[in-house]
Amino acid sequence: MSAGTRTDVDVAVVGAGVIGAVTVREILARHPGASVMVLDRDTVASGATRRSAGLHFPRGRTERVRRMSAHSQDYYGRLLAECPGAPIRPLPTTVIAAESGERALREAHLDSAGLRRVPRAPHDWVRTPGGCAAWQVDGCQYADVTRLTHFLVRGLRERIALREGVRVAGVRPRKALVELELGNGETVSAGRVVLAPGPWIDVPAWQDLVAPLGVRVKKVVAMHIDVRPEKDDHAVVFYDEDAFLLPLHDRGHWLFSYTCREWDVDPDTVATGISPEILREARALLARYAPELVSRCASGRVFCDAYSPTGEPVVAALDTHRRVIFAGAANGSGYRLAPAMASEAVGLLSPTLHATGNQT
C-alpha cells in the first residue's frame, strides 16, 4: 500500500497490546462482518504487555472490579478450553494478610476463590509476620502475556488489517466518522475507534481527548529473584502491601512485584533499569516476608502503566458523538481485566456499529 492512501474501516483499534487484541477478538465475535484495522506505534505486544507479570487472581476492591475479574476468569477459562495451546496455566496461590483485615479480604475475593485459612505459608522461606495469617485461594492462573497476545493476533490476522510500526499522528472525531492521520502518510476513515494505548496517554494525537479522564502514569517495578521455582510452588500474595511473589517456571526464576510510588513518568524514557532507590525499596519489603531472598534480589524490569483516579479501569466515550472509546487505565491489571474491558468497550460500540463489509 502506498503512502497517501485513504482506507475505510468499520473499527480502528489503536494499540496492539493484550487489551487491544482481546478487544478485536470481541468485536469480531459480535460483528463477524466488521472490517477492523489494528494500529501500533511498535509491534504487537511490545509495550506494557511485554513487561506484564501475567498473574490473575479472583478479587477486586470494588464491586465493578469483582464483576470484571469474574468475567475475565470465565473468558480465559473458555479460551483455554477452546485453544489448548494458549499459554495460560492454573497456579496455586497463597495470600498473606493481617488477621484483623480478614473481613475485608473475604469481601474482596470472589466466592469462587474459596478463600480458606491455612496453618502457614507454603514455602519455608516465606515468613508470616506477627498479626498476619495465610489463606489459600482457588482460581488463580499465570499467563505469558506476550505470547498470549501474539497467539490471539495470529488467529485474527486473516480477518484484520494490521499496521505495526505505524504511528497515529492525528485523531479527528466527526459526527459520522473518525479520521485518523497515520505517520506513514495513510489516512483512515473509521466508523468507530477504540483507543487502547496503555501508558501512552499523552500522545499529541489524543492527549486532549484523554485529559478529562484524569489518568496518570505510574512506574511499575518487578524484581527478578534468582531462585529456580519447583513444579508445585505457589504464588504468594502480600495483600496489604499490594505485592506478590510469582514463580516463573518457564524462565527459571521468581518475580517479585511491589508497589512503586513514582508518578507521572514518561513511557518512552522510564525503562532505565534498576536504580539504587528501587533496589533498597524492594529489598526492604522483601526482608519483611522472605528475608532469605534479599541477597538473590538484584535485577528486574522497570516500566509503567496508566492508573485511573478511582482505581477502576476506564472504559468511556471520549467525544460527543461517542465514536472514540477509551479502554485502559487498568491500574496494573491490564491482563487480568482485559476481557471485561473489551466487553464493555464493544458494548459501547455495538448499539451503533453496523458492519459495512469494507475490505481493508
Answer yes or no: is pLDDT of 358 > 60: no
CB 184 within 8 A of CB 294: no
Assess whether 154 and 279 both reside in one domain. Answer: no
Same domain (yes/no): 221, 123: yes
Same domain, 222 and 206: no
Taking 3-state DSSP, the helix, strand and coil percentages for the chain, each rounded to the nearest 5, stand at 30, 30, 40
For 71-107, how does the pLDDT look when each residue is reduced to its tens digit (9 = 90+)? 999 999 999 999 999 999 999 999 999 999 999 999 9
Whether residue 151 is found in the same domain as residue 300: no
Residue 350 has pLDDT above 80, yes or no: no
Whether pTM > 0.85 for this model: the answer is: yes
Q: What is the pLDDT of residue 360?
A: 36
Q: How far apart are CA 269 and CA 118, in angstroms?
A: 43
Give a yes or no: residue 70 inside a domain.
no
β 216-225/297-307 pair status: antiparallel
pLDDT beyond 50 at 359: no
Q: pLDDT-derived band of residue 273, with 50, 70 and 90 as boundaries?
A: confident
The domain boundary residue, chosen from 307, 325, 342: 307
- Under 8 Å between Cβ of 277 and 310: no
- Establish if 59 belongs to a structural domain: no
Within a domain: residue 58? no
The reply to whether 134 and 22 lie within a common domain is no
Residue 221 covered by a domain: yes
Domain that holds residue 282: 93-139+216-307
Dist. CA 112–CA 206, nearest whole Å:
39
Residue 283 lies inside a defined structural domain of this protein: yes
Classified as helix, coil or strand, 130 is coil
Cell numbers 502503566 correspond to 305
> Is 343 part of any domain?
yes
Are residues 234 and 131 located together in one domain of the fold?
Answer: yes
- 199 and 233 in a single domain? The answer is no
- At 107-145, the pLDDT tens digits run 999 999 999 999 999 899 999 999 999 999 999 999 999
Residue 6's pLDDT band (boundaries 50, 70, 90)? Answer: confident
Shared domain check, 200 and 179: yes
Determine contact, residues 257/302, Cβ cutoff 8 Å: no
Q: Could you tell me if 97 and 130 lie in one domain? A: yes
CATH number at residue 191: 3.50.50.60
Residue 178 lies in a domain: yes
- Residue 101 sits in a domain whose CATH number is 3.30.9.10
Q: In this structure, is residue 208 part of a structural domain?
A: yes
Q: With 90 as the cut, is the pLDDT of residue 254 above it? A: yes
pLDDT, tens digit, 9 for 90 and up, residues 204-245: 999 999 999 999 999 999 999 999 999 999 999 999 999 999
Domains of the chain: total: 2
Residues 242 and 188 in one domain: no
